[in-house]
Structure 1
Amino acid sequence: MRVHHSKSRIRAAALVSIGAIALAGCSATSDANEPEPESESTDASGALAAAEEFLQPWAVESDKDLLIDEPLDEPVEEGAQIVYLDVGTPVSAVMWENLQAPAELLGIDLERVETGRDAQSINSAMNTVVELEPDGVINITLDPVFFESQIAQLEEMGAPIASGSIVNSTEFGLPEAFNGAEWMRINGEALAAAAIMRSGGAEEFVFYNVPEFPFSALELEGAEAKMEELCPSCTMRVVDIPIAELGSTAADRVVSDLQSNPDTEYFIAAVDEVQIGLPQRISLAGLDVGGIAMWPAPPNYEQIANGEQDATLAVDLNLMMWTVLDQLLREMAGQSYEWPDVATRASTITHVIDQESAPANASEGYVSIPDYQDRFAENWLVG
């Protein structure tokens, strides 16, 4: 199944045709200096152009640098124990796998602790982490509010926590995540701009929010702001997808929503796990609605390569996990570092991917810096 977006393509073609007719008609007007009233097509055309311009950093391949590109003061001690907090989503499993290569390169021991998704499970899991007495902890997406007491215990034993996709780490005395609140907002802006551009100037959108992920609300915030800026006449509904449905019934919930709201032309999702298996369900339901999301897993890349899923705001998960580990190593060594500006961080790690630019290796996914492993090895004084 291909994602057709027939309404959007017709609209985009109409914009070109109307623009040509308008230009041809200028010579026939009685008063060439009289301003033309702004039309809906002009508004849509302007939104498309503005969206494309805004997206340039996310759409153009260019030379990129590591976010922290300086060597460690000394090599990492072999056998250092690092705990990875697994929140149980498909992307979390991918991130765990992405840590295996750098762990082997450094000779460190990785321990995987599954946290569960409710307060009691998280508390129990974090007590296990404290008992392990690790040298450091990597946390992706788990809100520190659920394990504040264990943060104090880990700090007491000198075990820092490096975070990814955490928007409030500094509120709990943790190091700032490279992809914190402002990073999430700006990527939300990129999602909105991409939705306008790829839909050909649609005006009826929906945002599928995952309320359990703090970053999801910030992506939504950024998307709403950019949508209002680029297309004031557009509307964007918000529908919540519970985290428990990711990897199971999320696609069914989306199809049900689209059936109940037939005017919806394009959707945005906070996480691409919402789209796993979705194209087939959309096709079976007789719908013709495409969308874009963030945080793709291998099945998303496969769907895009097959022309089933329209696009994704791809995150280089390998570069992300090596970067979070790099931050943790510097925290463990007490070495200072500084993140670049938010726009640089966002456009370095993320990229708009469609069928033409889909990675050949879905398991590897989007690669932002081809020689990143060699660069990290040099900075980590390995080899």
Structure 2
Amino acid sequence: MLAKFSDARTSSATRGRRSNRRTAWRVTAACISAVTVVSVAACSSSAGSATPSGPAAAPGQAANVDAAKAAIQGYTVPPTAFPVSDQLAQQLPAGKKFVYLQCSTPICALVGTFVQQAVKGLGGTLTVVNAGATAQTAQAAASSVGSMNPDAVLLGAIDPALFGGGLKKLSDAGTKVVSLQIAKDVKPYGITFNYLGEDLSRRNGKLLADWVIAKKGAETETVLYTLPALDISTPVQKAFQDEMKANCPSCKVRVVPIDVSTIGTTAPRTVVTDLQAHPDTKAAVFVSLSAAGGLPAALKAAGLSVTTVGFGPTAGNLQDIKDGALTAALNIDFPVSTWTAVDAAARLIEGGRPTASEEAGEVPEQFLEQQDITFDPTRGWSAFPDFAQRFATLWRAS
């Protein structure tokens, strides 16, 4: 379930926390217990437009651990600023029609839950259409939506190319098409607004690399498990590899792809087999931590131990972190980010534009380790437990 973020967080704790840090949300247990995860690859945090950076390790230097620690510092504490502050020009007329094109990953299902809540809060109606994971299913979904004459269509980080000309046809008919975290130029596909784009994916890749360097230091052998079917996978991978090379030239990194369709089934076996073949691996990093669902049991059965971290945890992942079975997650505030995308769609329906903060891709995000899971994992994480009330005020619905 993304965009441009400021990165003044690396040198000073005060400047590094401009108006968009992150904190934790609570959703109803039903919202997350119904889903397992994959990054919408959905779905990250802060208010500016740069990515975490610091002086790179000099040639011959093992690792710039201090720079890595500085890069992640602002993402290890709860954010404090809500990403939207401007009210709608007027309350959206009741009955506006929204459609959510839902991809096949668990995270897309999770986002769908929040889309449903947000549209209800706006007074609109929502139809969920399964877009699947292939061009055939995506194009059939877009074609079926055309006859619904929706006011707005939302989709997650599914590759827009899968829809062929379907999204552009919807846009040309006057439908506002809003996407979340698509890591490419969306204009050729007819998408009206892309919330949280490639900049977010690049930033997250850098953050994950710096977390590994900060925690493991030099001489670390790391594996990055990617999900090529997800639109965010490629930019996260490139940013991760570039940052590891810059800040830890002595670290070894290999990349292992995982088939998105194996999440929740054979993905843990793929990871275990790989780790058994590379026993010196110290850190396993996941483009989407959903691919680690069921991994703790598989690691235990194989007698393996490795530091784990990844983006976009599921409720099950959060429970594993709480239990000490997984190490950490870089978590985006899924409910707030999803409601923000719906907010942007409402503004477009009214004939306006998304807010400046939405254009800048502001969204709460935080690294969560065992000591941070003080909430019920089945209820999820959010920086703002009262997000629904906040949006109700912004939407003149309260």
TM range (shorter): 0.7 to 0.9
Q: Does the residue aligned with 2:320 lie in a helix, a strand or coil?
A: helix
Deviations 1:102-158 (A, max 9, x none): 222222111111111111111111111112221111100121112242223212321
Give me the TM-score of the superposition, normalised by structure 2: 0.80
AA of the residue aligned to 1:258: L
- Preserved CA contact (<8 Å) 1:85 1:113: yes
1:189 paired residue number: 206
Is the Cα contact below 8 Å between 2:225 and 2:255 reproduced in 1? yes
Is 2:344–2:353's contact at 8 Å kept on the other side of the alignment? no
Confirm or deny: 8 A CA contact 1:143 1:166 kept in the other structure: yes
Aligned residue number for residue 99 of structure 1: 115
Say whether 1:149 aligns with 2:165. yes
1:190: how far off? 0.5
- Identify which range, 360-369 or 207-216, moves more after superposition: 360-369
Query: Residue 355 of structure 1: which of 370, 373, 393 is its match?
Result: 370
CA distance in 2, matches of 1:300, 1:339: 33
Equivalent residue in structure 1 for 2:322, among 289, 305, 327: 305
**Which residue of structure 2 aligns with residue 377 of structure 1?**
392
1:218 CA drift (Å): 0.5
- Residue 171 of structure 2 contacts residue 192 of structure 2 at CA under 8 Å; is this kept in 1? no
Q: Is the 8 A contact 1:136 1:161 kept in 2?
A: yes
Aligned to 2:48: none
Structure 2 partner of 1:165: 181
For residue 86 of structure 1, report the CA deviation from its aligned partner. 1.2
CA–CA distance in 1 between the matches of 2:384 and 2:82? 7
**CA distance in 1: counterparts of 2:338 and 2:349, whole angstroms:** 16
Q: Which moved more, 1:152-161 or 1:188-197?
A: 152-161
Give the whole-Å Cα distance in 2 for the aligned partners of 1:293 and 1:229: 20
Q: Structure 2 counterpart of 1:150, which letter?
A: G
**Map of 1:77 onto structure 2:** 93
**Which consecutive residues of structure 1, in runs of 5 or more, have no partner in the other structure?**
1-41
Q: 2:324, 2:370 within 8 Å by CA — same for their partners in 1?
A: yes
Root mean square deviation, CA, Å: 2.1
Cα distance in 1 between the residues matched to 2:235 and 2:166: 26
Percent identity over paired residues: 28
Verify the 8 A CA contact 1:81 1:134 in the aligned structure 2: yes
Question: TM-score, with normalisation over the residues of structure 1?
Answer: 0.83
The 5 Å alignment of 1:21-40 reads none
Aligned equivalents of 1:132, 1:361: Cα separation in 2: 39
C-alpha deviation, 1:234, in angstroms: 0.8
Q: Is the 8 A contact 2:333 2:364 kept in 1?
A: yes
Partners of 1:181 and 1:54 in 2: how far apart?
19
Question: What do the CA deviations read for 1:222-276 (whole angstroms, capped 9, x no partner)?
Answer: 1112111211111110111111112221111011111111111101110011111
What is the Cα deviation at residue 49 of structure 1?
A: 2.0
Quote the Cα distance in structure 2 between the aligned partners of 1:135 and 1:146.
Answer: 22
Q: 1:109 to 1:176 in 2, by over 3 A?
A: closer
5 Å-filtered alignment, 1:115-126, equals: 115-126=131-142
| Match in the other structure for 1:289 | 306
Match of 1:139 among 155, 161, 164: 155
- Relative contact order (C-alpha < 8 Å, sep 6+): which is higher? 2
- Structure 1 253/92 Cα, relative in aligned 2: closer, same or farther at 3 Å? same
Q: Is the 8 A contact 1:301 1:359 kept in 2?
A: no
Counterpart of 1:255 in structure 2 is 272
| Mapped contact 2:180–2:341 kept (Cα < 8 A) | yes
Q: Based on CA coordinates, which of the two structures has the bigger radius of gyration? A: 1
* Aligned twin of 1:227: 244
The alignment partner of 1:287 has SS state of coil
Distance 1:373 1:265, change over 3 A: same
Superposed displacement of residue 345, structure 1: 4.2
The CA distance in 2 between the partners of 1:104 and 1:72, in whole Å, is: 16
Secondary structure at the aligned position of 1:308 is classed as coil
C-alpha deviation, 1:201, in angstroms: 4.7
Amino acid aligned to 2:304 = L
Task: Determine the C-alpha separation between the residues in 2 that align with 1:114 and 1:65.
Answer: 31
8 Å Cα contact 1:178-1:339 kept in structure 2: no
**Shift in CA distance, 99/152, structure 1 to aligned 2, threshold 3 Å:** closer
User: Where in structure 2 are there 5+ consecutive unaligned residues?
Assistant: 1-59
CA distance in 2, matches of 1:337, 1:323: 9
Q: What is the identity, as a one-letter code, of the residue corresponding to 2:380?
A: G
- Counterpart amino acid of residue 255 in structure 1: V
| Contact persistence 2:177–2:191 (CA under 8 A) | yes
Instruction: Tell me what 1:18 maps to.
Output: none
* Contact 1:209/1:239 (8 A) holds in 2: yes
**Alignment check: 8 A CA contact 1:90 1:247 kept:** no
Q: Is 2:215 the partner of 1:217?
A: no
DSSP-derived class of the 2:389 partner: helix
Letter paired with 1:281? A
CA distance in 1: counterparts of 2:215 and 2:97, whole angstroms: 45
Post-superposition Cα deviations, 1:193-213, rounded to whole Å, max 9, x if no partner, equal 112223355510011111111
Say whether the 8 Å CA contact 1:72–1:379 is kept in structure 2. Answer: yes
In structure 2, C-alpha distance between the alignment counterparts of 1:202 and 1:308, rounded to whole Å: 24
1:265: which partner in 2?
A: 282
